[in-house]
Amino acid sequence: MDSDNENQAPLNTSNESDSGIQLLKPEEIEELFKLANIDSSEVYPIVQSLYSSVPVDKDTDEYKILELDHHLIEALKIGDTLTFRGDENEPAVLCSNTRTYEVKEAETSNTCLLVPNLKCADDMKDEEIEGHIAESVEVKGVYSKYLEVREISPKLSKLQTLLEPSSFKGMEYEKLIDKSTLYDWERIQDNVQASDGEILKALPELLIAQMDGYYRLISFEFEAKAVPLMLDLMEENSWEIDEVDKEVSCKSLSEIIPEPIFELLFKKYTEPSTKTNKNGTQLYKYDEAKSSRLLAQILLTACPTNSYSDFMEAWKIGSPDSIQPKEEYLYGAAIVVNNSLTMRKEVILYPESNLSDDIQKRLNELFKAKEKWTVKEIAPYISKFTTRKQDVNAILTKHARPSTVNGVKYYSSKHGK
């Protein structure tokens, strides 16, 4: 006998699959179609018989079923990575490169089967088989529960908490920094429940600069010291508010403000001007609202509650001549209330960063501090909870009660008086 033929596996002429499942013969398949009143010509040539090596009366733990939205599916199609993030004591979130999702377990009324090798219609349309044949396909999992996702705002408050111990307070304090409290990019990724894109976007907004390979939060104390020095340069150099020279400012303060810190502060508090210097170099304009708000915060940190008239006067005296304080600049940093006990109008320090990260708890805190809010007043305190599908107005419509007083729309507690 030929040696090649000796090594050939014998043909499986029985009607038993490799899994040991007894399969229907072609004539039995045709008879089954007749009993079910099904036209066999409309059925694909391969009939698949499912079998399971796992119990069908309880969920399988080896795999989990995860429901994805269009964005997540497209991310996988182009080769992006989806990652679960969070400490062992935190509910996990799922992140793409640009979005964050909460993950919750949900039940389904129909049992779901995981069948990896099941052939679908597109897999069989080109099969050239005469009649019908049966194949066995293994069920790898049985599920009555699955994981569903919902896009949420990134959880960025933890980023500030993590970086606070190593915050930049000035060059004279750098030798006191505990190296173990420093965070590089990988350590931030491991600990912050937000996508890479959302974290990178938040870094300048939260005043987090990269220095020597680590990410450093600029402390309020240093910000309160550095920005007034930057503003003072306008008077020292006889600049108008829209004639600020970035290069001159950086060099003048280089011994006090490291370049990465200066770049971040300058980017936050200025915007490109329409003017240029004699050499054609771009000049900049200080943002009045942001600059004025910081000066107000400095005053309020020293004295958190003030008479409205006294505060406005002190605020104006402490501001450069080119910056005129306005009450609206206080939004997100302080609140203006009418104190019924003292019978006076007051300005009270009320920073957004001190409030709860839970939207309902935060609104309760806001309405406890002040009964009625306009949209402009409350927006800085709840904008972090907005998503692509829910803006500030939608949040207020859901969680607060509107009212109109003298033509002005206010929002108050939904369950208040």
Q: What is the pLDDT of residues 110-135, one digit of tens each?
A: 888 888 888 887 877 776 777 788 88
User: In this predicted structure, what is the pLDDT of residue 51?
Assistant: 82
The model scores a pTM over 0.85: no
Reported as a pLDDT band with limits 50, 70 and 90, residue 30 is confident
Reported as a pLDDT band with limits 50, 70 and 90, residue 20 is low
Reported as a pLDDT band with limits 50, 70 and 90, residue 16 is low
pLDDT of residue 13 exceeding 80, the answer is no
**Encoded tokens for 96:** 């793409």
User: Which of 3.40.50.300, 1.10.287.990, 3.30.2320.20, 1.10.10.10 is the CATH number of 356-416?
Assistant: 1.10.10.10
User: In this predicted structure, what is the pLDDT of residue 50?
Assistant: 84
Per-residue pLDDT, averaged over 202-217, amounts to 96
User: In this predicted structure, what is the pLDDT of residue 11?
Assistant: 33
Reported as a pLDDT band with limits 50, 70 and 90, residue 198 is very high
Reported as a pLDDT band with limits 50, 70 and 90, residue 61 is confident
pLDDT of residue 138 exceeding 50, the answer is yes
pLDDT of residue 222 exceeding 80, the answer is yes
Q: What is the percent of the chain with per-residue pLDDT over 90, rounded to a whole number?
A: 69
SS (H, E, C) the chain: CCHHHHCCCCCCCCCECCCCCECCCHHHHHHHHHHCCCCHHHCCCEEEEEEECCCCCCCCCCCCCECCCHHHHHHHHCCCCCEEECCCCCCCEEECCCCEEEEEEEEEEEEEEECCCCCCHHHHCCCCCCCCEEEEEEECEEEEEEEEEEEECCECHHHHHHHHHHCECCHHHHHHCCHHHCECHHHHHHHCECCHHHHHHHHHHCCEEEECCEEEEECHHHHHHHHHHHHHHHHHCCCCCCCECHHHHHHHCCCCCCHHHHHHHHHHHEEEEEEECCCCCEEEEECHHHHHHHHHHHHHHHCCEEEHHHHHHHHHHCCCCCCCCCHHHHCCCEEEEEECCCCEEEEEECCHHHCCCCHHHHHHHHHHHCCCECHHHHHHHHHHHCECCECHHHHHHHHEEEEEECCEEEEEECCCC
